[in-house]
Structure 1
Amino acid sequence: MSGVGSGDVGDSSGGGHGVRTGFVTQTHTGDVSWREAIEEGANLNFDFAELYMDGATERTKLDPEAVRSVADGEDIDLLVHLPFVDVEIGSPREGIREASREEQKACIETAAAMGAEKAVLHASSHATPPEWTREDVEPHLLAAIRELDAFGEEHGVKVCVENLPGILFTVHDFDRIFAETNAAMTFDTGHARVDGMDAEDMESFLTEHGDRISHIHVNDARGPSDEHVPTGSGTLDLETALAPVRDGWSGTVSVEVYSFDFDYLELSKRKLDEAL
């Protein structure tokens, strides 16, 4: 075991040892406000809310002082999920990628002002074959990871790169991220399933790379898909997949459930707590 027993490198400033649980907010559509998400998360005794910084809650629509005040008042921590749908941090076109990186930096600054401790990053690009090869894009993505990771460190926000389903960077590409950057990882269970991992494979990956994994998305599904059903209602063997988390790892774990009904989040928290 090279990683898990040594603890999470990402949590030295995150409020103590051990595993903390939270949820990815579904605020981007506007159906749930950031205030409601934070308040309901606190009511459900989550340790943190992972605020999605896109759509209705993209950075220019947030008042960082107000968000921080509500979170402090509810005694709940904050993480953020950086935007990804329309940003191109790995674009082969210099002007586009530079503007996208500047936008992500502005989001990290907003996250810091809100008191968020981690920021989930999709290191991805829509520049794909046949127009663009992996060799055209991957160096720019790695450079962006290094740049944003360093910027986050300057602002007290740990950038955690998420494995993506079927596109750069998948869970099978992370050896290069681990070797060529200092960034931490967000391990997404649903995305890992899309790319061929079963619960035993996840257990092995978490065991081997626990020292670089700071954050986990529990994304349950009924098969190898990016489905985000309520935790426990899919077919992921959570107890097996998360076994290393119970073995001395300290970090953060979000349930990622596509629902505006907080009853499903309550059930998801209970199922996650049982697995942990």
Structure 2
Amino acid sequence: MSEGEQSESERTDGDGTESAAVRRGYVTQTHTGTVPWEEALGAASRIGFDFAELYMDGATERTRLDPGSVGSLAAEKGIDLLVHLPFVDLEIGSPRNPVREGSLSEQRACIETAAEMGAEKAVLHAGTSARPPEWELDEIAPRLLDSIRILDRFAADRDVEICVENLPGVPFTVHHLDRVFAETEASATFDTGHARVDGMDPDEMADFLANRGERVSHVHVNDAREDADEHVPTGSGTTDFETALAPLREGWEGTVSVEVYTFDEDYLALSAEKLEEVL
């Protein structure tokens, strides 16, 4: 937390009452190697974010990280840690048992690394490239749900909370999260851009968060200019966050990341300001 910034427990509304315990952060773009993880954590502190969500792939996949060093720097900078688990080449929903088991093994190793660095939440993509016409959702869903249960229990034993993210156009989309809630104990990450791609308008997003907020632990604020997964700086798109995120202002307690595809700290800082205005 940068000097002069209020912690989430110190923020108050205009009438002097304490606001909802919503912590703000951002998803790092460290996977390309353009921004080292050390710089990404420093940016979170300078901007005044409560946490950084470290992307564990590419240049910052688990074998390229020293968890002790990451945890120590986060503590030094006064920020908390979340992680975004890898997904591009992993298949936790594969109908082929060896492929699925290998992917689960790698995700377990990532969760252990996240726990060692002190991360409290891990965002999980519960998706697969197995799809029609070869594979129908009814065949794939049981495998995905079982994988979620396995990873959720594994992470819970290490004090890490799994947060299943709604994916755009592939299982599990926002329209499948109720099944995740019914058949697993995992929490969810609600991604606004992904929900928009899958047909949700701001009022429908707000309705989802209002009715399922007890299972949504984390939110990705993903702005866009159209119904696409763009990740433009928060406030530069056309998403009506004032409406969509209204339930988060009503006593919800969780974490919110701005997910912006940029290496420019100025755009991150502006995104933080725009998010603060909404929340």
Distance 1:252 1:168 in 2: 23
Q: Which residue of 2 aligns with 1:177?
A: 180
State, as a whole percentage, how many aligned pairs show the same letter: 66
Matched, 1:114 2:127: no
Task: State the secondary structure of the residue aligned to 1:252.
Answer: strand
Q: 1:194 pairs with 186, 194, 197, which one? A: 197
Q: Which residue of structure 1 lines up, in the alignment, with residue 108 of structure 2?
A: 105
Q: CA deviation at 1:129?
A: 1.5
Of 149, 158, 166 in structure 1, the residue corresponding to residue 161 of structure 2 is 158
Q: CA RMSD in A?
A: 0.7
User: Runs of 4 or more off by more than 3 Å in structure 1?
Assistant: none
1:78 to 62, 71, 81: 81
Q: Which residue of 1 aligns with 2:263?
A: 260
1:197 deviates by 0.5
1:128 to partner: Cα distance:
1.3
Q: How many residue pairs were aligned? A: 260
Q: Identify unmatched segments of 5+ residues in structure 2.
A: 1-19
Structure 2 Cα separation of the partners of residues 236 and 135 of structure 1: 32
How far apart are residue 135 of structure 1 and its match?
Answer: 2.1
**How does 1:48-87 map onto structure 2 within 5 Å?**
48-87=51-90
Residue identity in the other structure for 2:151: L
Q: Distance in 1 between matches of 2:245 and 2:127?
A: 26
Query: Does the alignment pair 1:270 with 2:267?
Result: no
Q: TM-score, normalised by structure 2?
A: 0.92
Q: CA deviation at 1:225?
A: 0.6
The CA distance in 1 between the partners of 2:90 and 2:138, in whole Å, is 19
- In the other structure, the counterpart of 2:237 is 234
For 1:136 and 1:246, the matched residues in 2 are separated by: 39
Normalised to the residue count of structure 1, the TM-score between the two structures is 0.93
How far has the Cα of 1:133 moved from its partner? 1.6
Give the C-alpha shift of residue 175 in structure 1. Answer: 1.1
Give, in whole Å, the separation in 1 of the partners of 2:208 and 2:136.
Answer: 28
Deviations 1:247-272 (A, max 9, x none): 00000000000000010000000000
Q: Structure 2: how far apart are the matches of 1:129 and 1:209? A: 29
Q: Note the alpha carbon deviations across 1:88-121, whole angstroms, 9 max, x for none.
A: 0010100110010010000000000000000000
Unaligned ranges ≥5, structure 1: 1-16
| Match of residue 10 from structure 1 | none
Give secondary structure in 1 for the equivalent of 2:182: helix
Which letter maps to 1:27? Answer: T
Cα distance in 1 between the residues matched to 2:131 and 2:206: 31
